[in-house]
Each structure stands twice: as C-alpha cells, then as structure tokens.
Amino acid sequence: MKLSIRKSIAALGAAALVATGVLVSVPAANAAEPTCTTGPVAIAAGFETCTGTLANGAGYQFKMPFNFKGTMFFWEHGIRWTYPGASPVPTGVEQIAPSSVNGNFDISKQMLLAGYGLAAYDGTVKGLRGWNSAYRIEMIKEVIDIASAKYPKIEKKVLYGASQAGSTITPFVEKYPTYADSVGIMAGVTPSIADAIQSACDIFYILSVFADPTIKGCTAFGLKGVPGHMASLGELQKVVALLGAWSTNLGAPGLEYPAALKGSGIPQRSSLLLTGLLTGVPTKSAHMDGISTNAVIVEHSINATVAILENIGSAIGSGVLAGQSLSEITGAGFYDNTKTNWASLLDEGDAGRYNLGLSGDDGINAMLGVLAMAPRVTGDAAAIAKFKALDKSSFTSKHPTILLHNEADRLVFPGQTNRYVDRKREVYEKALSSWEKTRTGKKPIWNTLALWTLTPETYTKFTAAGLPDLTGPVAASGVDHESFTKKQLKAWVDMLAVSAKSGKVPTSAYVQYIAEKVPYLNGDLDYRPADLKYNFGY
C-alpha cells in the first residue's frame, strides 16, 4: 500500500527546493483602469472579461455576463505561497469562482449562466505572501470599489471565499459593512487561526514523542524568508517519511519509542490513532470511511487509523506552511504546550469508540502517561501573545452568512465552522437579550447558516490483497479540503445570491428541501461535527 498524500506535499524534494524568493517591497501606485474583452460565447449569453491591477500590483479579474441580474460575487482565495517546493508559485488570478480540488473544475460557467457577475484577485502579489490577511482586507475593498465604479448596475454584492479567506472576510465585513450584502465562507479558517495551528503543532510534538525524537516541529519555525521555509519543509519531510513507512505495514509493529512503551505490545498504529484523536484529525478520509472492515482491516478503528494516516500528511502539511507563515508574524516560539493536559484532549466518546484501536484502557493510559511525562515545549511569551491575538474578530456582522464545510475536511477541520457559528450565536443572543429589555429598535435576527456536506455511509475499497485501496476514486462527497460537487457549490452560491437580496439566510425548511435535491448536502441544521481542541478566545 502506498500512502496517498497531496501531490504538492509528496513531491517535496531537494531539487525542488530552489531558493529563489526574495521579499519584494509592495509597489505603491494607483490602480489602472481594467482592460476588457468579450469572452467566449460558449457561455450562451456571452460575457465580458476585464483584467487590471490594484495599487499594489496585484492582478484582478472580472467576468460580467451579458445577462447580468444585478448580483456580483467577489471571490477570496485561500492561502498560497510564493516559495517553491511545496506548491507552485502563484502567477496571478488563478480562481475566479469556487472550485473543487478533487473534481478539478470550477463553477464559473454555471454562475455566469445564472447571470451572476464574477470577480477575483490575486491575494499573493509579490511580497504579500503566506498569512497575509491584514493586507488583503484593504485589497478586497479596492477590488469592490473598482468593480462598483465600472459596473453601476451592481445591485448586490456577495463576498465569499475559501479556507484562509475566513480570516479575511470576517474582519473585512466588520470593518466595511456596506461592502457586502451576503457572506459565504467555504471550509474557512474563521478567526482565530491560532486554535487550529496549536493542534497542528501538537501533531508534530506527539509524533516526536512516539515515533521520531528528531522532529522539532513548530519549534523549528521562526526564521524569515527562504531559510525559514526550508527549515519548515525539513520538518514536514520527517513526518512524510514516517507516514510513508507506516503505510507499508499499517503501523502494525510494536512501538519502539519511547523506551517506557517498548515491549508493551502497543502497536505503532495505536499511537497514530491517538495522535489523530488528540488533535482532531478526521477519522474519515478520501478513501477510508471509518467503518468498513475485512480480513486485513479487521475492525473499524483500524479503518479510522488508516483514515488518519491518509489525512495527517495534508493536515501537517498545511500546518507547516501556515505555521511557518505565522511564525514570520509572531517570531519564533509561538508554540507552547507547558500547560497542555493531553488526557483532556481525548474525547470520552473517542476513547470508547476506538478503544480497541487504542489498545484498550491500558494502552490509552500508558500512552497518555508517557505524554504527560515527556519534556514540554516552552514558547516565547511575546510570540505566544502575538499568536493568540492573530486575526481577531468581533463576529458582530449582521450580514446573512452561509458557511459550507465538508464533514471530514483534512486541512481545515470542521470544528472551525462550529466555532464561527458559536461566536455568532453568542453575539446574537446578547443582542437579543438587550433588545428584549427595551424592545426598541430593530429586533436582532439570527442570520448565520452552516451547510454541511457529508460522506456516503461506506465507500472504502480493498485491493485483491485485502489492503485499503488508496489510489482509486475518492469518496463522492464530504472529504478533503475545498472539494465539493458542482451541485453542492451551486446550491451554496444560489443561497448566497438570494440572501443578498433578502438580507436573510434561507429558512430551515428550504434548506431541507434543497438538501433533498443535492446529494450529500445535509439538511440537518442541528448537525455538529467534532469541535476544535483549543479555544484561545476572540
């Protein structure tokens, strides 16, 4: 069996790690008028494409259909890197509309057909790379200003985006509330990123205790520029090597490290499963449903462990790249686990459900005991403070906001969307309570909707040898990051469009109605996957 990790991460190699990047100062200039051409008429009604550059040199693009119905969608892409090695260096506007990683498509055609205008920009213009949410807030404003000036016929504006976009869009609409009529966040890191990265750093730390003591993980982050990037990728390579080794034997050999557990009979896979459960890595993956069994995968927790194996490479990959980017903001030493209570991170339900995979209570206690005794990482107070203060938002926006998330997103864990809804609910309930005391002014309304896309119940395939087949088609829905079906994406943008007009998110009855039409779109508005492991407040 071969471990399937995203190509961008698996392709890591010294040859690819050519140091070319040098920080470039941000150009200060005025934005130029966009240049426009008429687009292909394969889209029935035809459309106009306009391109231009923002004041800082970033490219932007508009696609305006001739059957425009008044609603313009402004797309905010996720994190991208300008150092080579782990992913291609961005070259401009690469996404104009929501796309699917697994499906290798976007829905721009469908959106143009529906009469929606499209806009997007390159948020990673020279020098503004990595975790650049603060820069991008003003870039979005500029894009919207240019579009509004060029197209006075824009009646409603939808601001939507994916992944890191959550950390940009949320503060943006709080700062510039009139710049959007509805808000969409797909698989979003909704402030704060620190809650997520702490778990990613925990993955490194736990693996260093159980598997490879040379792993430094997030403590190796902090150098700026190419040297820092190279150092972080070196840490990632250690984990990729480890996972690759486990993938050849399903982690069956006994733990060799730490010494206290050598000879205990606890297999390596139990420590991998524990690592995933303590850090919130989904127990379903592109190929593993967490349920299916056979003669090799003899029970469900082994299936879930292979799911973690398949997920964790990407989880840690995003942790490395985002974490290194963050460290350039916070400085070295943002990760600290001196106060971490490892036992408290293991959910009671997980301990019961995966008891066998964790080698029973004795195995759980032994592994948690080793973690409790292991030397901790002491961070730098100033860096930690900056880390926990990243991307703070008030969640006071009143815009209709529709979130979309896969139940088993392996990069941005689903708990992020839970957290967003919780924050909004706190603000809403406080406002409602205040209103009820005076009953003056406009009554607050609940205006947030979380849409979830689920996996099929079972989808694991096995090879003739009985091993999990990690090379075949991925699950039809619910897994991976920014990977949805066309119908799911279209349902989301349609709801955003109508919410922009009405000022309200759809009713629960309507969501349920649509969910019956769109495969694997969950109509259960009470659905709640696992929460994030950390909460540093906001």
Give residues in contact with another protein (CB under 8 A): 44, 110, 113-115, 289-291, 293, 299-300, 303-304, 348-349, 352-356, 359-363, 445-449, 457, 490-491, 494-495, 497-499, 501-502, 504-511, 513-514, 517, 523-528
Specify whether the CB–CB gap between 484 and 385 falls below 8 A: no
Q: Which is nearer to another protein, 10 or 351 (CB)?
A: 351
Token pair listed for 152: 């006075």
**At its nearest, how many Å lie between another protein and the CB of residue 525?**
5
Q: Rounded distance, CA 379 to CA 334, Å?
A: 6
Q: Least distance to another protein from the beta carbon of 445, Å?
A: 5
- Coil, helix or strand for 345? helix
CB of 505 to another protein, least distance (A): 5
| Shortest Cβ 143–another protein spacing (Å) | 24
To the nearest whole angstrom, how small is the minimum distance from the Cβ of residue 477 to another protein? 14
Please, which residue, 344 or 502, has the CB nearer to another protein?
502
The residue (of 299 and 426) whose beta carbon lies closer to another protein is 299
Nearest to 468 by CA among 251, 201, 219: 251
Q: Which is nearer to another protein, 182 or 192 (CB)?
A: 182
Task: Encode burial over 175-188: b for 16+ CB neighbours within 10 A, e otherwise.
Answer: ebeebbbbbbbbbb
Rounded to a whole number of angstroms, the minimum distance from the CB of residue 243 to another protein is: 23
Q: How far is the CB of 73 from another protein (least distance, A)?
A: 13
Give Cβ neighbours of residue 225 (< 8 Å, ≥ 6 apart): 21, 22, 23
| Minimal distance, residue 362 CB to another protein, in Å | 5
Q: What is the largest CA-CA distance in the chain?
A: 73
> How far apart are the C-alpha atoms of 51 and 37, rounded to whole Å?
9
Q: b/e per residue, 292-316, with b = 16+ CB within 10 A?
A: beeeebeebbbbbbbbbbbbbbbbb
Q: Provide the minimum distance between the beta carbon of 24 and another protein in the complex, in angstroms, as a whole number.
A: 42
Closest to another protein by CB, 235 vs 289, is: 289
Cβ closer to another protein: 51 or 355? Answer: 355
**DSSP letters of 269-308?**
HHHHHHHHHHHT--S--SS--S----SSS-SHHHHHHHHH
Number of H helices, E strands in the chain: 14, 11
Nearer to another protein, 22 or 509 (CB): 509
What CA–CA distances, in Å, run from 75 to 151, 204, 251, 271, 401? 17, 33, 42, 40, 15
Output the 3-class SS for 178-241.
HHCCEEEEECCCCCCHHHHHHHHHHHHHHHHHHCCCCCCHHHHCCCCHHHHHHHHHHHHHHHHH
* CB-nearer residue toward another protein: 128 or 281: 281
Which residue's CB is nearer to another protein, number 168 or number 268? 268
